[in-house]
Amino acid sequence: MGFGVPLALSGSRKHNETMQRILITGGAGFIGSNLALAIQDRLPNASLVILDDFRSGHFSNLVGYRGDLCAERLGKVDFKGLLGDQRMDVVFHLASITDTTEHDQFLQLNHNVEDFRHLLKWASEDQTPVVYASSAATYGQTDDIMTESKVPSPQNVYAFSKVQMDNLATQYARQFPAWKLVGLKFFNVYGPREAHKGAASSMIYQLYRQMRNGQRPRIFYDGDQRRDFIHIEDVVEACLGAAALASSGVYNIGSGVASSFHQVIEALNKAMGLQYVPDYIPNPYVFYQAFTQAEITQARNAFQYQPRMTLQDGVKQYVDWLDLAS
């Protein structure tokens, strides 16, 4: 699946010179808040607007944010009433139901697909560039490294909704060849400002909480499941790099490395100065992805995407942040 491979550009730093009017949907969520605060830090004169219904976000993620904030459901927003004649340089669309265990089909599809349709209908008028969140969940259960050309195999309605978003973006890109629509298939993202997600937060955060509370870390039998864990800082860089592209595309955003649950616990033990052994439990999820690993060559070629955080470094930085925040 894809919209074609764009030409490589110079990356997010150069794009920052012209990216001054920015809309972030889902800006109070995990990825959105980290992106918003990073842009605010790098571009202090930029005009930032966050749109969030706070279903999957939390106000505490935006402490220190100085831009505009609209608390509204994306699918109901009158963009012209909100923004007037101000044209956005880019929209980062990160609003979504992020809980993969939410099985209400209408709810998932209505929020994730129809809200995206509402956004694209407005953005198509001026062909405002849109960078949107897809997901590695679209690949389903596989033992192979995941490439963008792989046929989708969604195992739950969340993943299915992301496939439909990719399909919708593909249709618009074909209808408007000059319009830039970039999908990013995020793999297992972890890092600061995800605690509000509760059970939907990363496994790294959940294991950290268990271990910090004096409990053995609980993982599914037999702990050799392997996931592509990507630190939020690398995800933010990917978003900014994607905004610099000249044409549409869809890209994997992961570390390119599959790490076992045992390796995660090892990294947490080292970062926390502990020596816990796992507490193995049965896996209750029939749709569980036991293996994820991103092929990231296309993103590297298109916008010089290069994740910098190893699992060990990322976990150490995250543990330090969590300990300081607690």
Catalytic position from the list 132, 139, 158, 305: 158
Q: Distance (Å, rounded) from C-alpha 202 to C-alpha 27?
A: 18
Q: Please state at what angle helix 115-126 crosses helix 157-175, rounded to 10 degrees.
A: 20
198 DSSP 8-state letter = G
In 3D space, the residue among 139, 118, 216, 5 whose CA is nearest the CA of residue 206 turns out to be 216
197 carries an active-site annotation: yes
Catalytic position from the list 162, 180, 185, 197: 197
Amino acid identity, residue 114? E
C-alpha dist (Å) from residue 110 to 64, 77, 96, 185: 32, 15, 10, 20
Q: Distance (Å, rounded) from C-alpha 204 to C-alpha 191?
A: 8
Q: Distance (Å, rounded) from C-alpha 13 to C-alpha 29?
A: 24
Q: Cis omega before residue 53 (within 30°)? A: no
| Active site (catalytic) residues | 158, 197
